[in-house]
């Protein structure tokens, strides 16, 4: 049975041979790498000039560590991909059906099986070790005691922030108390909650750790700021208090809900402003100063 | 064609199985208990659903590239829950589009294509059995599946339209009409998924019983062709995972309609319970959707390389390992859900470990083409592409297995790219390979090779142009399930890429046209298929194309493993399973 198809014919055709003779052997070997470099170079350049292809510039301390891990995986998987595909395509061309050449009769090789089981296992477990190390250092670490505490409650379809006021403490809260009148579930018997103030913008001082107390009023929402490499679902019925990060660059960002939460999900976002410590203090003083009676402030929250 | 199926073998076995010779029209085509007819019923219905799911995908892509611009031609005809007054998709309508795209593609296309079509067609033929163990159950399974499809699609006509809380239906969005606004559609979703689950359970029971009990003499477990092994492992996954989803869907239905609060976010329910139940099903489901394709691809690569599969037992053990480990990795969908952070570390570990058997399979496929005599027929092209696409899908999975990186790219287009590389570049390419490969056996005619290649080249090209750039969208923080990316500062700059992807997706949609034309044209006008057009060794190729009712005139005896190609010392380069090796020839046992 001759099964020489167009693909095989092409590789044996004069045109292809002509191409071969024109290119020296070395260039032919380097060609794929050249292409890869061109592609890589273009996308690198594209990343520099616009945000079309690649990661948004990182703007938090933990984010830098996460990016290092991401790049490491990028190189690892990229290397594995190129290596396997080059070998694979080489096999496909070399072992194409040829007249009079019979396939090798082989059912396998146990030593090879052992090798290609052991090596990936080692790599994957090593990668897990590295990932887990970062997870422990960046995500699971206890927030520093001088961190700015901010309460964030998500609801269909907006975010509301609560700052601790003059005393620097948010005070006790309980998810059971969350309602339209009390978005943050503040325990009003606790005096520390009295001077808390709310904001529609997440205003943050640069280079100071921020500790988020995350709640949801109705369905599952998410707290996602791509530049900070931070994501956490906000789950109704529980308070999530392990999210913390340190913004490192002054600028405007967007806090987006990234968990489908209903028909208004597409536009559920809030502004994040990272400012200098002085600007932050100024903003904070203005917010604290009017100090309206607590009841009024709560009503404002509920709209 | 269907006539031949019903007639040619009925004198031989039909009588002994069903106790009568002539089957009425109804029993031949509608309520057929012949596994081959049921497979074809599955095939036709899934291809119909594939068109529906594909059109929904086109809608999704249209909206992302051209948000707020009225849908050309049909915009004015679409119902009010789907479009705004101007005829552009509304944000809520967009949510319904992607919810139903995923639901249809997973539950009504890929799963039944693999399990329903290949499971039904191949298991009895490849193990040398006359039919399934429970033919009545088998027919029931198909009609339950078909009903579930009708119920799910009926939501189009429900008040407020189709469900819109994602195929994952996270509670409490999905469990309260007040939150999702589509109480009726969401209820239909629960009912449809429940019925679909019953169908899967009936099918899985059948497959397991058939493979365990009805193998031909000599067909030892380690002589089973790999598609049968893959389908067997899949059947176990179905049997253990699907009831969990069915139960969860019933609970969700109660929450929606009877005021229970299993999953509610108030002080009585637990939203994360839904996610645990859903992903306890959902992750094995991912392997349900890929394992049969792996089996099909293994067989096709061996046939067209004219070589025994490299490391048959390693392949089988890898299938089992994936199946087993598949049950302890579901938490990797929940790293950011609010689940305990310590638990994330353990799920991350099991997820890294499950990558090992997938790597083993890839290396064995490469080992199979090594030293082969490769024929690039259409099924082989799809099978070879499967391997590369699966490598991309597998490698991109590593990003998500690494918890801190997952934190950033979870719920972005990176994950959309990943699942499509596995489910389309993987599962569906495997399905196409299988259809081109077994079409002659199913319909007794050959498909056109040239148009098959055209389909392959277009599908391969547009598939990659559509889904590869989605990795980049995701890395730039493009969230999933956002109806209008231009509303976000960090996404506005990548709108040209969105438009590029949408145009490629339209190309991908159109690339199936040569396939459909080829498929239906060849059924009537294709050249008659010989018994064994690919010179293959498994038992189905010893039968006429298509095989008669009852399959085997004489129960075959099996003498050796399934992939004895290019045995040294033999004139012909394949040795069918039912032929003993000549005395002069020594088969290696691995």
The secondary structure of B255-322 as a DSSP string is HHHH---SS-SSSS--HHHHHHHHHHHHHHHHHHTTHHHHHHHHHHHHHHHTSPPTTHHHHHHHHHHH
How far away is chain A from the Cα of B151, in angstroms, using its nearest Cα? 23
Given a cut of 80, is residue B16 above it in pLDDT?
no
Cβ-defined contact of B371 to A219 (cutoff 8 Å): no
Instruction: Tokens for A137, please give them.
Output: 């250092």
Q: In the prediction, which pLDDT does A212 show?
A: 95
Given a cut of 60, is residue A15 above it in pLDDT?
no
Rounded to whole angstroms, the Cα distance separating B4 from B12 reads: 14
Mutate to test the interface with A, among B166, B404, B414 (most CBs of A within 10 A): B404
Q: In the prediction, which pLDDT does B20 show?
A: 47
Given a cut of 90, is residue A86 above it in pLDDT?
yes
Instruction: Tokens for B283, please give them.
Output: 């992750």
Mutate to test the interface with B, among A60, A95, A105, A158 (most CBs of B within 10 A): A105
- In chain A, which residues have their Cβ closer than 8 Å to the Cβ of B486? none
In this prediction, residues B355-372 reach a mean pLDDT of: 95
Cβ-defined contact of B476 to A54 (cutoff 8 Å): yes
- In chain B, which residues have their Cβ closer than 8 Å to the Cβ of A218? 172, 179, 265
Are the C-beta atoms of B181 and B256 separated by less than 8 Å? no
Cβ-defined contact of B371 to A84 (cutoff 8 Å): no
Token look-up 């088998």 returns B138
- In chain A, which residues have their Cβ closer than 8 Å to the Cβ of B181? 262-263
- In chain B, which residues have their Cβ closer than 8 Å to the Cβ of A142? none
- In chain A, which residues have their Cβ closer than 8 Å to the Cβ of B313? 108
Cβ-defined contact of B356 to A101 (cutoff 8 Å): no
Instruction: Tokens for B536, please give them.
Output: 């293959």
Q: In the prediction, which pLDDT does B101 show?
A: 97
In this prediction, residues B554-568 reach a mean pLDDT of: 94
Going from the N-terminus, what domains does chain B have, and what CATH number goes with each? 2-542 (1.20.210.10)
Tens-digit pLDDT profile for residues B263-286: 998 878 899 999 999 999 999 999
B positions 393-412 inside 8 Å of A (CB): 395-396, 398-399, 401-405, 407-408, 410-412
Q: In the prediction, which pLDDT does A294 show?
A: 52
Q: In the prediction, which pLDDT does A168 show?
A: 87
Rounded to whole angstroms, the Cα distance separating A221 from B133 reads: 48
Q: In the prediction, which pLDDT does B420 show?
A: 96
Lowest average pLDDT, out of A242-246, B24-28, B152-156, B539-543, goes to B24-28
Q: Assign B7 a pLDDT band (cuts: 50, 70, 90).
A: very low
Give the CA distances from residue A217 to residues A264, B107, B252, in Å, rounded to whole numbers and listed in that order: 15, 32, 20
Q: Assign A30 a pLDDT band (cuts: 50, 70, 90).
A: low
Average pLDDT over chain A, rounded to whole? 84
Cβ-defined contact of A106 to B308 (cutoff 8 Å): yes
Question: What are the helix (H) ranges across chain A?
Answer: 6-12, 14-22, 25-49, 61-94, 110-134, 277-288, 294-302
Tens-digit pLDDT profile for residues A189-223: 998 998 899 999 999 999 999 999 999 999 999 99
B273 touching A (Cβ < 8 Å): no
How far away is chain A from the Cα of B172, in angstroms, using its nearest Cα? 5
In this prediction, residues B167-181 reach a mean pLDDT of: 93
Given a cut of 60, is residue B11 above it in pLDDT?
no
Q: In the prediction, which pLDDT does A297 show?
A: 46
Q: In the prediction, which pLDDT does B23 show?
A: 72
Dihedral angle sign, alpha carbons of residues A200, A201, A205, A208? positive
Q: Is B289 exposed, middle or buried (0-12, 13-18, 19+ CB in 10 A)?
A: buried
Give the CA distances from residue A83 to residues A32, A113, B368, B425, in Å, rounded to whole numbers and listed in that order: 11, 18, 17, 20
B493 touching A (Cβ < 8 Å): yes
Given a cut of 70, is residue A6 above it in pLDDT?
no
Which residue from A52, A54, A135 is facing B404, i.e. has the nearest CB? A135
Q: In the prediction, which pLDDT does A52 show?
A: 65
Reference B322, options B278, B292, B364; nearest CA is: B292
In this prediction, residues A45-53 reach a mean pLDDT of: 56
In this prediction, residues B43-67 reach a mean pLDDT of: 96
- Whether cis (ω within 30° of 0) applies to the bond prior to A95 is no
Cβ-defined contact of B337 to A235 (cutoff 8 Å): yes
Q: Is A110 exposed, middle or buried (0-12, 13-18, 19+ CB in 10 A)?
A: exposed
Reference B148, options B115, B107, B96; nearest CA is: B107
Cβ-defined contact of B479 to A140 (cutoff 8 Å): no
Q: In the prediction, which pLDDT does B588 show?
A: 80
Instruction: Tokens for B156, please give them.
Output: 């189009």
Q: In the prediction, which pLDDT does B384 show?
A: 97
- Identify the top-confidence range among A130-144, A204-218, B337-351: A204-218
Measured between CA atoms, the residue of chain A closest to residue B338 is A233
Q: In the prediction, which pLDDT does A37 show?
A: 60
Question: What are the helix (H) ranges across B476-573?
Answer: 489-492, 495-525
Rounded to whole angstroms, the Cα distance separating B449 from A10 reads: 17
Cβ-defined contact of A102 to B366 (cutoff 8 Å): no
Reference B216, options B349, B350, B123, B351; nearest CA is: B123
- In chain B, which residues have their Cβ closer than 8 Å to the Cβ of A104? 307, 370-372, 566
Given a cut of 50, is residue A10 above it in pLDDT?
no
- Please report the DSSP string for A196-245 in residue order: -EEESSEEEETTS-EEEEEEESSS-EEEEEGGGTEEEEE-TT--EEEEEE
Rounded to whole angstroms, the Cα distance separating B582 from B233 reads: 34
Q: ipTM of the predicted structure?
A: 0.91
- In chain B, which residues have their Cβ closer than 8 Å to the Cβ of A269? 487-488
Q: Is A238 exposed, middle or buried (0-12, 13-18, 19+ CB in 10 A)?
A: middle
Q: Assign A1 a pLDDT band (cuts: 50, 70, 90).
A: very low
A65 touching B (Cβ < 8 Å): yes
B343 touching A (Cβ < 8 Å): no
Report which secondary-structure segment, H or E, holds B3: helix B2-8
Q: Tell me what percent of the residues of chain B surpass a pLDDT of 90.
A: 84
- In chain A, which residues have their Cβ closer than 8 Å to the Cβ of B401? 128, 131
B423 touching A (Cβ < 8 Å): no
Given a cut of 80, is residue A34 above it in pLDDT?
no
B571 touching A (Cβ < 8 Å): no
Dihedral angle sign, alpha carbons of residues B331, B332, B337, B338? positive
Tens-digit pLDDT profile for residues A139-192: 888 999 899 999 999 999 999 999 998 888 899 999 989 999 899 999 999 989
- In chain B, which residues have their Cβ closer than 8 Å to the Cβ of A102? 306, 373, 566, 573
In this prediction, residues B161-171 reach a mean pLDDT of: 94
Instruction: Tokens for A24, please give them.
Output: 């020296």
B257 half-sphere exposure, CB direction, 13 A CA radius: 15
Given a cut of 60, is residue A24 above it in pLDDT?
no
How far away is chain A from the Cα of B29, in angstroms, using its nearest Cα? 37
Rounded to whole angstroms, the Cα distance separating B184 from B139 reads: 29
Rounded to whole angstroms, the Cα distance separating B473 from B417 reads: 9
Given a cut of 80, is residue A51 above it in pLDDT?
no
Given a cut of 50, is residue B585 above it in pLDDT?
yes
Q: Assign A43 a pLDDT band (cuts: 50, 70, 90).
A: low
A positions 94-133 inside 8 Å of B (CB): 95-98, 101-109, 112-113, 116-117, 120-121, 124-125, 127-128, 130-132
Instruction: Tokens for B266, please give them.
Output: 């108030």
Going from the N-terminus, what domains does chain A have, and what CATH number goes with each? 6-98+110-139 (no CATH), 148-302 (2.60.40.420)
Measured between CA atoms, the residue of chain B closest to residue A227 is B477
Are the C-beta atoms of B575 and B470 separated by less than 8 Å? no
How far away is chain A from the Cα of B234, in angstroms, using its nearest Cα? 23
Q: How many CB atoms lie within 10 A of CB B86?
A: 12
- In chain A, which residues have their Cβ closer than 8 Å to the Cβ of B356? 117, 120-121, 124
Are the C-beta atoms of B441 and B541 separated by less than 8 Å? yes
A286 touching B (Cβ < 8 Å): no
Cβ-defined contact of A113 to B360 (cutoff 8 Å): yes
Q: What is the DSSP letter of B333?
A: G
Rounded to whole angstroms, the Cα distance separating A108 from A120 reads: 19
Are the C-beta atoms of B347 and A135 separated by less than 8 Å? no
Q: In the prediction, which pLDDT does A290 show?
A: 60
How far away is chain B from the Cα of A292, in angstroms, using its nearest Cα? 31
Which residue from A51, A224, A235 is facing B494, i.e. has the nearest CB? A51
How far away is chain B from the Cα of A67, in angstroms, using its nearest Cα? 8
Measured between CA atoms, the residue of chain B closest to residue A78 is B395
How far away is chain A from the Cα of B26, in angstroms, using its nearest Cα? 43
Q: In the prediction, which pLDDT does B168 show?
A: 95
- In chain A, which residues have their Cβ closer than 8 Å to the Cβ of B167? none
**Position with higher pLDDT, B411 vs A293:** B411
Give the CA distances from residue A126 to residues A68, A70, B346, in Å, rounded to whole numbers and listed in that order: 15, 15, 14
B222 touching A (Cβ < 8 Å): no
Given a cut of 70, is residue A29 above it in pLDDT?
no
Cβ-defined contact of A104 to B566 (cutoff 8 Å): yes
Name every residue whose Cβ is closer than 8 Å to that of residue B495 and which is 6 or more positions away in sequence: B65, B485, B486
Which residue from B271, B367, B411 is facing A222, i.e. has the nearest CB? B411
Tens-digit pLDDT profile for residues B501-534: 999 999 999 999 999 999 999 999 999 999 999 9
Mutate to test the interface with A, among B181, B479, B486, B500 (most CBs of A within 10 A): B479
Measured between CA atoms, the residue of chain A closest to residue B483 is A266
How far away is chain B from the Cα of A267, in angstroms, using its nearest Cα? 7
Instruction: Give the A:B interface size as CB pairs under 8 Å.
Output: 322
Tens-digit pLDDT profile for residues B57-78: 999 999 999 998 999 888 888 9
Given a cut of 70, is residue B564 above it in pLDDT?
yes
Reference A254, options A276, A222, A282, A278; nearest CA is: A222
Q: In the prediction, which pLDDT does B493 show?
A: 84
Please provide the distance, in angstroms rounded to a whole number, between the alpha carbons at the two ends of chain B. Answer: 40
Given a cut of 70, is residue B3 above it in pLDDT?
no
Rounded to whole angstroms, the Cα distance separating B566 from B557 reads: 21
Rounded to whole angstroms, the Cα distance separating A278 from A289 reads: 16
Name every residue whose Cβ is closer than 8 Å to that of residue A207 and which is 6 or more positions away in sequence: A246, A247, A248, A277
**Position with higher pLDDT, B26 vs B304:** B304
Which residue from B170, B363, B488 is facing A254, i.e. has the nearest CB? B488
């Amino acid at each position: 049975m001759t099964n020489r198809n167009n693909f095989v014919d092409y590789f044996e055709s004069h045109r292809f041979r002509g191409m071969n003779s024109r290119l020296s052997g070395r260039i032919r070997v380097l060609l794929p790498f050249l292409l890869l470099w061109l592609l890589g170079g273009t996308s690198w350049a594209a990343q520099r000039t616009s945000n079309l292809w690649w990661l948004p510039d990182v703007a938090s301390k933990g984010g830098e560590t996460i990016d290092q891990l991401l790049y490491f995986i990028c190189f690892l998987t990229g290397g594995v991909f190129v290596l396997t595909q080059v070998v694979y395509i080489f096999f496909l061309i070399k072992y194409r059906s040829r007249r009079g050449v019979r396939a090798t009769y082989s059912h396998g090789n146990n030593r090879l099986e052992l090798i290609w089981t052991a090596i990936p296992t080692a790599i994957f477990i090593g990668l897990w070790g590295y990932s887990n190390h970062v997870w422990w250092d960046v995500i699971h670490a206890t927030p520093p005691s001088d961190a700015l505490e901010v309460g964030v409650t998500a609801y269909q379809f907006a975010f509301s922030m609560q700052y601790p006021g003059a005393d620097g403490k948010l005070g006790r809260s309980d998810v059971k108390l969350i309602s339209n009148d009390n978005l943050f579930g503040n325990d009003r018997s606790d005096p520390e909650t009295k001077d808390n103030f709310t904001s529609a913008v997440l205003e943050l001082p640069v280079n100071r750790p921020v500790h988020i107390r995350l709640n949801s009023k109705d369905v599952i929402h998410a707290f996602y700021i791509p530049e900070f490499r931070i994501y956490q679902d906000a789950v109704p019925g529980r308070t999530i208090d392990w999210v913390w990060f340190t913004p490192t660059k002054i600028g405007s960002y967007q806090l987006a809900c990234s968990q489908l939460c209903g028909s208004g999900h597409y536009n559920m976002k809030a502004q994040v402003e990272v400012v200098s410590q002085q600007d932050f203090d100024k903003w904070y003083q203005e917010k604290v100063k009017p100090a309206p009676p607590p009841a009024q402030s709560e009503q404002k929250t509920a709209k | 064609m269907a006539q031949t199926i019903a007639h040619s073998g009925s004198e031989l076995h039909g009588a002994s199985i069903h106790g009568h010779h002539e089957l009425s029209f109804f029993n031949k085509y509608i309520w057929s208990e012949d596994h081959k007819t049921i497979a074809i019923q599955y095939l036709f219905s899934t291809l119909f659903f594939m068109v529906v799911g594909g059109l929904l995908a086109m809608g999704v892509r249209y909206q992302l590239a051209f948000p707020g611009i009225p849908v050309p031609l049909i915009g004015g005809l679409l119902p009010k829950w789907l479009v705004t007054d101007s005829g552009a998709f509304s944000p809520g309508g967009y949510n319904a589009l992607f919810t139903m795209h995923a639901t249809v593609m997973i539950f009504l296309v890929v799963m039944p294509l693999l399990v329903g079509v290949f499971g039904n067609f191949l298991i009895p033929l490849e193990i040398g059995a006359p039919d399934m163990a429970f033919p009545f159950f088998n027919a029931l399974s198909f009609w339950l599946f078909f009903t579930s499809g009708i119920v799910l699609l009926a939501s189009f006509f429900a008040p407020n339209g189709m469900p819109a809380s994602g195929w994952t239906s996270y509670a409490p969005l999905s469990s309260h009409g007040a939150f999702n606004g589509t109480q009726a559609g969401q209820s239909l979703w629960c009912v449809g998924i429940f019925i679909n689950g019953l169908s899967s359970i009936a099918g899985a029971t059948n497959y397991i019983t058939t493979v365990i009990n009805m193998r031909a003499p000599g067909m030892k477990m380690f002589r089973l062709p790999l598609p049968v092994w893959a389908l067997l492992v899949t059947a176990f996954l179905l049997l253990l995972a699907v009831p969990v989803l069915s139960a969860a869907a019933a609970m969700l239905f109660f929450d929606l309609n009877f005021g229970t609060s299993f999953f509610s976010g108030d002080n009585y329910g637990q939203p994360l319970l839904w996610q645990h139940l859903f992903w306890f099903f959902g992750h094995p489901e991912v392997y349900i959707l890929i394992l049969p394709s792996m089996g099909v691809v293994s067989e096709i690569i061996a046939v067209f390389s004219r070589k025994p599969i490299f490391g048959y037992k390693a392949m089988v053990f890898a299938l089992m390992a994936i199946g087993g480990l598949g049950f302890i990795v579901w938490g990797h969908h929940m790293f950011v859900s609010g689940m305990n952070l310590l638990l994330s570390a353990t799920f991350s570990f099991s997820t890294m470990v499950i990558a090992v058997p997938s790597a083993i399979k890839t290396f064995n496929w490469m080992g199979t083409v090594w030293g082969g005599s490769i024929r690039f027929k259409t099924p082989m092209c799809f099978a070879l592409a499967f391997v590369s696409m699966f490598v991309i899908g597998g490698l991109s999975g590593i990003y998500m297995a690494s918890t801190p990186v997952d934190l950033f790219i979870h719920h972005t287009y990176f994950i959309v790219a990943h699942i499509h590389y596995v489910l389309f570049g993987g599962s569906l390419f495997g399905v196409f390979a299988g259809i081109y490969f077994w079409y002659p056996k199913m319909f007794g005619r050959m498909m056109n090779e040239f148009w098959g290649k055209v389909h392959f080249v277009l599908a391969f090209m547009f598939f990659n142009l559509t889904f590869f750039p989605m990795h980049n969208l995701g890395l730039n923080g493009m969230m999933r399930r956002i109806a209008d990316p231009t509303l976000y500062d960090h996404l506005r700059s990548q709108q040209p890429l969105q438009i590029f992807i949408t145009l490629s997706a339209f190309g991908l949609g159109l690339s199936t046209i040569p396939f459909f034309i080829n498929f239906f044209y060849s059924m009537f006008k294709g050249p008659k298929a010989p018994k064994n057009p690919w010179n293959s060794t498994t038992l189905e190729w010893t039968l006429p194309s298509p095989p008669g009712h009852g399959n085997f005139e004489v129960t075959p005896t099996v003498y050796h493993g399934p992939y004895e190609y290019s045995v040294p010392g033999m004139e012909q380069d394949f040795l069918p399973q039912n032929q003993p090796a000549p005395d002069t020839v020594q088969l290696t046992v691995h």
